[in-house]
Structure 1
Amino acid sequence: MLLCKGTDDMTRLFLTVCTALFVVLSSTSFAQEQSRAILVLDGSGSMWGQIDGTAKISIAQDVVGDLLQSLPENQKLGLTVYGHRRKGDCSDIETIITPEAGQHGAIVEAVNSIKPKGKTPMTDAVIAAAEALRYTEETATVILVSDGIETCNPDPCAAARALEEAGVDFTAHVVGFNIGDPEAIAQMRCMAEETGGTFRTADTAAELSNALAVIATPVPAPEPEPNPVSLQAYAIDGRNGPRITDGLIWNLTSLDGVILENQAVSDIRVEVERGEYVISVLRIADEAFDEQRFGIGSVDKQIVLELPELRPPATIEGPATAIAGSTVQVRWSGPDQKGDLISVADPEASSPWINYAYTKNGPLLDLVMPSVEGEYEMRYVSSDHRKVLATQKISVTPVEASVTPPEALPAGATVFVDWVGPDYQSDIIAVTAPGTDQLINYVYTRHGSPAELMLPTDPGNYDIVYRMSQKNRMLARVPVTVSGLQYSVSGPASAPAGSDVQVDWVGPDYRSDIIAVAELGADNRKYLTYTYTKEGSPLDLTLPLETGQYEIRYILGQDRVVQATTEIEVTAITANLKAPQTASAGSIIQIDWLGPDYRGDIIVVSKPGEPDRSYLNYSYTKGGTPLDLTLPAFPGNYVVKYLAGAAHKSLATSNITVTEVSATLSAPASTSVGDKIEVTWTGPDYRGDLIAIGEPGENYTTYAYTKKGSPLTVAAPNKPGSYEIRYVMSADRRILAVTPLTVQ
């Protein structure tokens, strides 16, 4: 084969190129083997480009005419042209002259008639010429000179590899002239290397001549004996199917006779000589058969034989008709392998199922029909590459539904919607934006008819729909208008912080509607205190403890939408308290106080600097004034505070110093197990103080309250060992005194 393609150099360069090519052919391929060749000529639109004022196609026509006169008439030469008939068509390739002797005049006439028009399918043109030369049966050589990149074939490198693998002896020598594109160079180099040819580049006429001279004058060498090549063959189950690994019988023959006969193996791996062969395979399971004739050259070859898909016997039986979305029972028989399933599918679609159920669930399966009416088929689908082993047609008929909303549709209300429909699992009655499938609120049909459907809070136009769960198909749609409602709230213009005020309101009193107080401009969902409207009108609303301007709001329970507001000023509140400046640790002191006495107000004692919510002991103001407050068990400086409301806002404070307390113990040093011992003590004798006995570092096991006086009797433990007698103060269970005790 020969490809002459115009360059962007001067006219004489084109003449030099093609002359050199024909020298190559006459001195090698033609002269030595009298092999058949094809001239592949570029007839694409780029051939109208000019070199020194002359179109490249004209230069080619002149050069080909001159060169053919120098070749012997008995040399077998053909002509393939591309891009000469249609614009933008990568399939515009035509073998005008088949490679036979005595065709030189016809070739010249055909070349002179070319009118360039189209694209440059260079690689496919070479493939077409190779096929015309029967390259799988005879030696074929191409010497390609090109100045540009392939514009049609996606992978010239892969095409060259395929020619080499399939050909008896295919070689491509490539010269890239004046090529600046790295991708083009890579393509040309790969074409040569994949076929065992030579790749050279040339940027000048001299370099090009030298490159061609090297290719044209190879060093003579004795013809080597061909080495055996590896042949591998295997069979697949259907087009593009999986490889078959068992149950096969193979035969391989050549022109000289039988090589392998009735071989029961998974595949064939043998070494063979150059020549023509026939290979066949038989599958025992169904006696399916395939055969292929092929040639072997100098490279290893792989043969893939395609057998029809093996389909184990299976049956499927179900109803002839069913309602869209319904569940039908299907009886089946088949291999029941892991992953096998029964499906319903669109016979025109590529997917093997719309819905399915696994055969592992038994010979009688529940199968959900498609959501849309039409003609379908039920299938037994094997897990083995999803083969369909059995089918039955089924007509899916329409499913009907309706919704009937009430006439009155107040915004935010929950209304009763009558409906009729299939009530499939997860079907819903919903309200949507008009003409859309965008759900606003919905309720499941499984709760029965009528459905309790909550309407949107904003008045306007909507749709009430019946939506089937499968594919979210809308079965019924009714346009509705949701009407607005009257809302108002009123209360005092001002009130003390933390106080309860009465608020009058007007509204629908839907479930979870609230009257709330919030900061001005706060988000709808950010409010400070609230009361449910179910408490009636008027209702009590607790104000914040921080002073400032606020607003009272009517807030719908659905989506927390604010429907009405009124402003209120929260004014300051005060409190004071009177406590002793000092007192003993753990003692109970009396606090005189004055304050709002809101529900939850407390008097506390805490450490200085601690947050208001962090305190040690407390008493509620609801007990009146004065009130009793237990001091901490340890001495130190503390603060007494008046904390108001649930927010525990500090309204008044007083500092107090807690002084140390002490205690003494006098008792026998030892006693017997379970005996009574007498303990003499001194100490604060607070309510809950006790004398206890326990192991050092452990909880006490026996005790008696100090309120019984001194001395008092305490029982010894029932287990011998080392113990200690303790004075334990009720506040924080602080131990004020310890003396050892041995129990024998």
Structure 2
Amino acid sequence: MRQLLSAVLLSVCILLPAAPAVRAQGDETPAAILVLDASGSMWGQIDGINKIVIAREVIGGMLQDLPVSQAIGLTVYGHRTRGDCADIETLIAPGLDTRAAIAEAVNSINPRGRTPMTASVVEAARALRHTENAATVILVSDGIETCEADPCAIAAELEASGIAFTAHVIGFDVADPEARAQMQCIADNTGGQFLTADNAEELAQALEQVAVAPAPVATPITLRALVEPDMSAPVSPLEWTLFDADGNQVLDPTRAPTLTAQLPPGSYRTQVLRMAQDSEHGASFTVEEGVAQTVTILLPFIPPATHGVTFTARIGGEDGPLITDPVLWDIRPVPDDAAETEEGNGLIFDMANGSYTVSAYWTVQEVSQEVQFIVIDAAREITVVFEEPAVTATIVAPASAIAGSTIEVGWNGPDMPNDYIGIGQEGATGSDAWRNYTYTRDGNPLSLLAPPEPGEHLIGYFLADGRERIGAARITVTPVEATLIAPETARAGDTINVDWTGPDYRNDYIGIGRAEATGSDRWENYTYTREGNPLQLLVPTEPGDYAITYFLDQDRTPLTSVPITVTALETGVTAPATAIAGSTIEVGWTGPDNQNDYIGIGRAEATGSDRWENYTYTREGNPLQLLVPTEPGDYAITYFLDQDRAAQATSVLNVTPVGANLTAPDRAEAGATIEIGWTGPDYHNDYIGIGRADATGSAAWESYAYTRDGSPLRIQVPDEPGAYVIRYFMSQDRTELASRPLIVD
């Protein structure tokens, strides 16, 4: 019996804790990929809700729980064409700011294709560059591979080739033992987990179990130094460095009297440089999670012949940030004498008691400050304060650009971490001031996407701190045009040619939807403009008035539309009025015979995928052979379009019972061979089996023989004594037609 198989496939990475105050041992952070099944079977239902709706809600919740430091991307399969095992596309590469784009993309997908589960895992691993960085995926599947690939073997190969490739597998409403075994193998071969879920709540719980990992708790540790024997605080400036158990430096050298750091559990060693004496001292310690502690290093007393004076230049105040540009120091005793000149910041000099004048020259800003000070029997710190310089930036960009196009923008500015160049309508405030943006770290000149709305805009340089715009240039965004040529009418489910002109930006597409539709309902079906001109567009299955529209990929902006009227199909089904359960009948039909259209049989009152318990594709001929279900009752034989499983013509069929009878001895010796007589339908692969009286499933036949081998059949009795049952099984669904007891001595 043919069965419609489908799969729900998701993938995310195991969530990582936020970075601690110290540097991590590696620079590569594992990324995540979400692989979504958009095959036609996603329209199937669980508890009255379509699987695609369940997937959207679960994915939306998962995205909200991801930390901002987690990179994530999106791969989709089966969302564009039918019967195409190569219909796989990474829509969004893994990144930190992709959540809104992923949620929008998932909510706009309409399932329609096949289930290339193995190839999708390979595509996800490729998008994650799993041979270079750690890669973790989660597969949530309700069926087995349908594109003639071996996911178990591929999983093992990916695990062997990657740094840290892990696949967790969740069986979603899966009863097929073969499918479960296949999923278990994928998880085992990659070091992942295999879980099961039968509804939306269990799916969300299973995803949380494998996707959310608790972050280790960083513990506050204070490092201090005391001078023996009186345990006083050292006068000399100190510079602290911190290493982990493997000798990796986890903290940049820091000058401070004491040092406090948030450290994850582990073993560490600290080293402190006593700068005035140029001597180093160290200590080892262990951090336990949640146990704060103070680590004390004892320093020997060294009588100073001179006193250490530290010179620092800061911006805005004595607690302001250190100047990182070159600073030139000119130090003179009072009364004036020969000057000592040095370049740097945070310099330390051993100085005798006396009065001094120091002049600090900030070379980049070309400004200087002078300070007088006295040294009396103690080290001290001299801080020279400069006013904070005004920060400005300039933008070099074209005077005009076509809506939706990509332009080059040159810039000059501070290029602080996360500074960015943004474009927005002139006069806009707040976050509306940057409709699109690109970080300055991406280069100079950099590429910037023009908004889809024509009008006067500003390209601005924005500081990451405070989102302040410190420079701007005006640009006029001009309209972008497009045209469409398509038939005025088409039959439901047909494929039509559409001629077009337009910008053909990456991921622009032509969509068809109801004339009055809004939002994502404006495209029930669509094709990317990159597919050619003219391109082929699939007409929806419901008759009515529709619009064909050219959409920019950016914000799904419509450029132009043409109307089209979708007319009803002429379809029909011819079948007998009655049939015996399990038999095969001939069904005649009329209809479009689109690729993968099929004739299905299901209960008269059934809905969703239950409307076809058995089916045969229309391409198999006319009339075609259709297998009748095993349960008696009223059924409907229906012509289904492949698109959206739209039901067309229907014929009613009454299925009558089928019977069978068995004759066999009441007792037999263990291991003996007995003869069993039978009467029954003798359908292809019907069989007689012997199993324990209380056995279920495949355990109901420990030994068996096919009815095609004649009557009576010779079957060997099981080797273990006990109460058994001889049963007549129909091949379809292993349906039991007749049984009789057997005692094995």
Normalised by the length of structure 1, the TM-score is 0.48
Q: Using CA pairs under 8 Å that are at least 6 residues apart, name the structure with larger relative contact order, 1 or 2.
A: 2
